Chain A
Amino acid sequence: MATKRTVDVALSTTGLDPQGRPQRVPLVTDESGNVTTMVAPPALEPELEGEHMLINLGPQHPATHGVLRLVLELDGETVVRCIPHVGYLHCGFEKIGEYRQYNQIIPWTDREDYLNSPGNNVAFALGAERLFGIEVTERCKVLRVIALEMSRIISHLVWLGTTCIDIGAFTPFLWSFQERENIYNLLEGWCGARLTTSLTRVGGMIADVPDGWVDGLKGFLQTFPKTIAEVDRMVTRNGIWVGRTIGIGALSATEAINYGLSGPMVRASGVAYDVRKDFPYLDYETYDFDVPIGTTGDVYDRFLVRMEELRQSVRILEQAVARLPDGPLNIDDPRIILPSKTKATTEMESMIHHFKVVMEGPRPPIGESYVVVESPKGEKGYYMVSDGTSKPVRWRIRPPSFVNLSAIPKMVEGHLLSDVIAINASIDIVMGEIDR
């Protein structure tokens, strides 16, 4: 009997798995149209017993997405216990933030979650602007939304490529990195850098988009959905993919909230929490987009949620590009943002402002602010405390991947060693953000 390469997935009518979550099974349709459930491999003989093995995964490992070290206690191939060790990429970001002016911290936000550099830049600028108590212009807001959604696309593309490689499919990696090159071209046209963009400044952006850039973005938005559809065709109903991701690493909704998970992790478990909808910023309530919510919270659900988020990001970008208003880009306050070069070289006052902004930096009033943004990994927060000087007293990064990763011992218990890799890939971690 020839087996089809693609399978459908359904929620089983038998209901619940031992943890009380709705169970999902892959269904196979054979040639005569009969629908049967995919047969699980036979369980290992329970009479075999032995010692538990302690193995070390990392910190240098192709599939740990960075320098993560997992110490696994294995019973055969089943994981009994997992102890993660992080900190192998700790570079003192928060300490150094106390020695840098607010505009000087922006390149640091690039390096911290390096897959989401424009998004981090925007988040930090929002936090600093709240500390200063200023509102940016309309054009700046729309451009920031564009930057955020572009960075969501590039981050999810890396996740897609690396997850497919971890589970065994090599080709989507090349496709997704080719699409990233298209976005890199756009980012490079805007700010000069591909990866570490430093796009924002307190009170505005680094520069306006060049002529023809918006057409380039429109062209990208035409071709990108085809790539998503191609990956979808190849992977989503693929028997191998479904077999390796269904039922793996599931977390219930209450567990997910209690662990502090955020982003696609918590949405796949069924919790409707998206910072863009619940605590909106940058006029996100005026954009028309959906937020995908999963049911079981396993690896397959997280995959579906992120794929759908890619499509929704395209939708938001189309709306943002359509509504991009003309007008000034940066705010008008010369004590906070640099004056234009023409003014700085002709007017005395502007030159002094330029000098002060560069040498001393803008100084916010005493206070603190905690701004959250929906980064591709989850709820990204920047907590800044100011004592009136140009350098923050405390700059705290609330890293979504750090908290997401702390749930891995719970998710991995009882699964096989190869599932550990799949679960790790599905959390979408960035060690730069975890270790800071």
Chain B
Amino acid sequence: MGLAARPEHKVVSYAPESQEGWVTSRLDFLVNWARAGSLWPMPFGTACCAIEFMATAASRFDLSRFGMERMSFSPRQADVLICAGRVPFKLAPVIRRIWQQMPQPKWCISMGACASSGGMFDNYAVVQGIDTIIPVDVYVPGCPPRPEGLLYGIMMLQKKVMNERMSDQSIRNEMEPDPNSKLYIPPPVIDELSEPFGNSVHQTRSGL
């Protein structure tokens, strides 16, 4: 007598908040507050945005009040990769390798139009957005973004960090493109799909 287990029932919904008790939610808050308050940036500064980043770190728009004055140029000790500036194709494996060297938890801010989407450099040499290479959390538009804009992006990232939950395991996975996922399109299929709109060979409006 007793209820037999019914193996066809599986837990289908999993809301992390519902699994939390008082202790876990306090712990979450503490951990997230600590992380958000001391995000050590890894300034991957390449071009003009790097100068505005330096200006943000200088005395007028102080980054130190956000806990980010300790620029870690070694990726092993950094939390957030701020890609400031345009990334050409020659630099693509470098930024990929640096992202892979950063230990979790890590975030990425793409600062400026060139890092977010290639910016005004729609040509043979520039990566059209670093989100084709590494997963980006916050995009800061501008060419270059004003320091206030970068600070707004940093505060947005801090809000994102505060909303994380330890019980949600998936956010700390290393994001690699999963060939079995339905969202992943292999490059030859991309070439075929984009051919009518194509970026280079078939685009005849060479005036622009």
Contact = CB atoms under 8 A, between A and B. Distances in A.
Interface of A: 59-62, 66-67, 87-92, 95-96, 99, 107-108, 110-111, 114-115, 158, 173-174, 177-178, 180-181, 184, 194-196, 431-432, 435
B107 interface: no
Contacts, number: 95
Given A107-B120, A180-B55, A91 B98 contact: no
Contacts of A67: 46, 91, 94
A181 B46 contact: no
Contacts of B44: 60
Most buried by B among A59, A89, A107: A89
Contacts of B71: 62
A184 B48 CA distance: 14
B148 to A, nearest CB: 11
Nearest to B146: A194
B15 to A, nearest CB: 40
Contacts of B120: 107-108, 111
Given A95-B123, A178-B60, A431-B47, A88 B54 contact: no
23 contacts: A59-B94, A60-B73, A60-B94, A66-B50, A67-B91, A87-B88, A88-B46, A88-B88, A88-B91, A90-B90, A91-B126, A95-B125, A96-B123, A107-B120, A111-B48, A173-B58, A178-B60, A194-B52, A194-B146, A195-B144, A196-B143, A431-B46, A435-B88
Interface of B: 44-48, 50-52, 54-55, 58-60, 71, 73, 85-86, 88, 90-91, 94-95, 98, 120-121, 123-126, 143-144, 146, 206-208
B208 A89 contact: no
A92 B123 CA distance: 7
A107 B143 CA distance: 10
B121 A177 contact: no
Contacts of A95: 123-125
Most buried by A among B51, B90, B124: B51
Contacts of B146: 194
Contacts of B126: 91-92
A91 B121 CA distance: 7
Nearest to B48: A114
Contacts of B85: 89
Given A89-B46, A90-B88, 19 more contacts: A60-B44, A60-B95, A62-B71, A66-B47, A66-B50, A87-B90, A89-B85, A90-B125, A91-B121, A92-B126, A111-B48, A115-B51, A158-B51, A178-B59, A181-B55, A184-B55, A195-B52, A431-B46, A432-B48
B59 A96 contact: no
B153 to A, nearest CB: 17
A89 B86 contact: yes
A67 B50 CA distance: 11
A114 to B, nearest CB: 4
A435 B85 CA distance: 14
A259 B95 CA distance: 33
B48 A196 contact: yes
B48 A61 contact: no
A54 B178 CA distance: 37
Contacts of B58: 173-174, 177-178, 181
Contacts of B59: 174, 177-178
A91 B88 CA distance: 6
A196 B50 CA distance: 13
A60 B55 contact: no
Contacts of A195: 48, 51-52, 144
Given A114-B51, A432-B48, A88 B121 contact: no
A111 B86 CA distance: 10
Contacts of A96: 121, 123
Contacts of A88: 46, 88, 90-91, 94
Nearest to B44: A60
A90 to B, nearest CB: 5
Given A95-B124, A111-B47, A177-B54, A59 B91 contact: yes
B48 A91 contact: no
Contact of B47 (A89, A99, A180): A89
Nearest to A113: B48
A89 B94 contact: no
Contacts of A90: 88, 90, 125
A264 B54 CA distance: 24
Contacts of A87: 88, 90
A107 B85 CA distance: 16
A84 to B, nearest CB: 14
Contacts of B86: 89, 91
A162 to B, nearest CB: 8
A110 B44 CA distance: 21
Nearest to B95: A60
A60 B48 CA distance: 16
B167 to A, nearest CB: 35
